[in-house]
Amino acid sequence: MTSRAHRAAGCGIVAVLCLAAAARAERVEFPREFAPVRGVVHAIEMPLRREVCLNGRWQFQPVPTPAGWTSGRDAPPPLPEPLADGWDATPIRIPSPWNMNASDSFQAADGADYRSFPSYPPAWEHVDMAWLRRGFEVPAEWQGHRLVLRFDAVAGACEVRVNGKVVDRQLDKFLPFEVDVTDAVRRDGPNELLVGIRSVRFFNQPGRFGSFTYPSGAWWAGGGNAAGDGIRGIWQDVFLLGLPPARATDVFVQPLVTENLLRADVELRNDAPEARDLRVEARVVPWIPAAEADLLAAPERRGEFGEKTVVAFANPVSARIEPGATSTVRLGQRIGGELAPWTPESPNQEG
């Protein structure tokens, strides 16, 4: 199963859970989407922000490693262009690494406590480079929105193309990244999303503190398999986002307990062709989790934002943002009662 849930309606997977009891192991069939949760855009943000989940079946084209290439000695091999007739008959299910079943770390063996799904052709287990492809369309009601691709994690050195245009390059395994593809996308027809990926092992170089030139991370993703370089591919969710040209791009909230002050730094971005005068207001609303007693519902993060305002920032902040510029504004609000630290023994949830 994937390490993280598909996060939009219709993007779940069917999984089989093995639940270990004290005296025996009981096999339970899980007939619905596994751990579906909301995407990156919440209902409270709509209709200003929109999303389309790009998970699902993608085409997969493995690329052979050049003969004689030696790790730690040779430069990373370039990724050849995809072949028109080189696509594998088996689709890949995104999000998931293409080498999920490459070693005992990824598949059940004697003593293993889980099985990874889905299982792919054995030939994929030794693939170090590949192309992945799918199509998408922009909803008609997204007129005026900036179009942003969001990858929640890609394991390897990746090149992202939209309709043949290179829009981004990344080398990582764990961190999400976003790229504005507004100028590369056709709004009135189908689009092609093409992602080329090379294993991070191509970038290993012997050094004083080991050979990794990138964050290695957890054993499962960083070096727990037989090849020593972990997973490869698009192993977390992919979204197409529709965002307003002038928008908040990040928020950092800091409770200053000794000062009884709640502070929020809001990063603003303006992708409009003209300067924008923005007024920033803020309020805090509670997240109300759903009480689930069913064991099979436990992986599902259910709940909703409440309508009650817990904290309202009394003094809005105004800022003029030039075209293509980013700026950060700060809001602060004294709290009526003392701010209390959160601890396991005293899990404060309100006030």
Is residue 188 a part of any domain in this protein?
Answer: yes
φ and ψ at 331, to 5 degrees?
A: -115, 150
Q: Is the domain of 82 the same as that of 202?
A: yes
Q: In whole angstroms, what is the distance from residue 117 CA to residue 1 CA? A: 4
Mean pLDDT for 153-159 is 94
Asked whether the predicted pLDDT for residue 243 surpasses 60, the reply is yes
> Where is average pLDDT lowest: 67-71, 127-131, 141-145?
67-71
Instruction: Please tell me the predicted confidence (pLDDT) of residue 347.
Output: 78
Give the pLDDT score at 224. Answer: 46
| Structure confidence at residue 128 (pLDDT) | 93
221 and 267 co-located in one domain:
no
Residue 276: which domain range? 246-334
Q: Please name which of 27, 29, 28, 32 lies closest in space to residue 13, comparing C-alpha atoms.
A: 32
The pLDDT tens digits for 299-340 are 666 788 888 898 899 999 999 999 999 999 999 999 877 677
- From residue 119, alpha-carbon distances to 54, 123, 124 in Å are 21, 11, 10
Contacts of 339 (CB under 8 A, 6+ apart): 255, 256, 257, 260, 261, 262
Each residue of 284-304: pLDDT tens digit?
998 888 776 676 666 666 788
Task: Find, among 288, 294, 240, the residue nearest to 32 by Cα.
Answer: 294
Residue 139 located in a structural domain:
yes
Domain C-terminal end among 242, 271, 299:
242
Average pLDDT over residues 168-188: 94
- Give the C-alpha separation, 168 to 30, whole Å: 38
What torsion, rounded to 10 degrees, do the Cα atoms 156, 161, 167, 168 define?
0
The confidence score (pLDDT) of residue 151 equals: 97
**283 and 318: one domain?**
yes
Q: Is residue 303 part of a domain?
A: yes
| Residues 138, 164 contacting (CB under 8 angstroms) | no
| pTM higher than the cut 0.85 | no
| R_g over Cα of the chain | 23
Q: Please, which residues have CB within 8 angstroms of residue 70's CB and are 6 or more apart in sequence?
A: none
Rounded mean pLDDT of the chain? 82
> Residue 231: its pLDDT value, please?
86
Q: Are residues 72 and 151 in the same domain?
A: yes
Q: How far is CA 166 from CA 39, 89, 181, 193, 298, in A?
A: 26, 26, 10, 10, 41
- Letter for the amino acid at 177? F
Dist. CA 346–CA 351, nearest whole Å = 13
Using the 3D structure, point to which of 192, 222, 242 is the last residue of a domain: 242
CATH code of residue 232:
2.60.120.260
19-59 pLDDT, tens digit each: 333 334 456 676 776 666 678 898 888 889 999 999 999 99
At residue 42, the pLDDT reads: 84
Q: Which pLDDT score, from 0 to 100, does residue 21 have?
A: 38
* Burial state string for 221-259 with b = 16 or more CB within 10 A and e = fewer than 16: bbbbbebebbbbbbbbbbbbbbbbbbbeeeeeeeeeeee
Tens of pLDDT, residue by residue over 17-30, are 333 333 344 566 76
Residues pairing with 266 in the sheet = 251, 329
Q: Residue 138 burial (CB < 10 Å; 0-12/13-18/19+)?
A: buried
233: three-class secondary structure by DSSP:
strand
What pLDDT sits at residue 179?
97
Mean pLDDT across 136-154? 96
DSSP 150-173: EES-EEEEEEEEETTEEEEEEEES
In the prediction, which pLDDT does 212 show?
64
Residues 216 and 272 reside in one and the same domain:
no
Question: What pLDDT, on a 0 to 100 scale, did the predictor assign at position 266?
Answer: 97
Single residue among 219, 242, 265 that ends a domain in this structure: 242
Residue 203, in any domain of the structure: yes
Integer Cα distance of 136 and 241 in angstroms: 12
pLDDT score at 304: 83
Least confident range from 69-78, 102-111, 310-319: namely: 102-111
Distance set, CA 54 to CA 68, 150, 211 (Å): 37, 10, 34
Q: What is the domain count for the chain?
A: 2
Q: What is the CATH number of the domain that holds 277?
A: 2.60.40
Place of tokens 């730094």: 265
Q: What is the pLDDT of residue 27?
A: 67
Whether 61 contacts 130, CB under 8 Å: yes
In percent, the amount of the chain with pLDDT more than 90 equals: 53
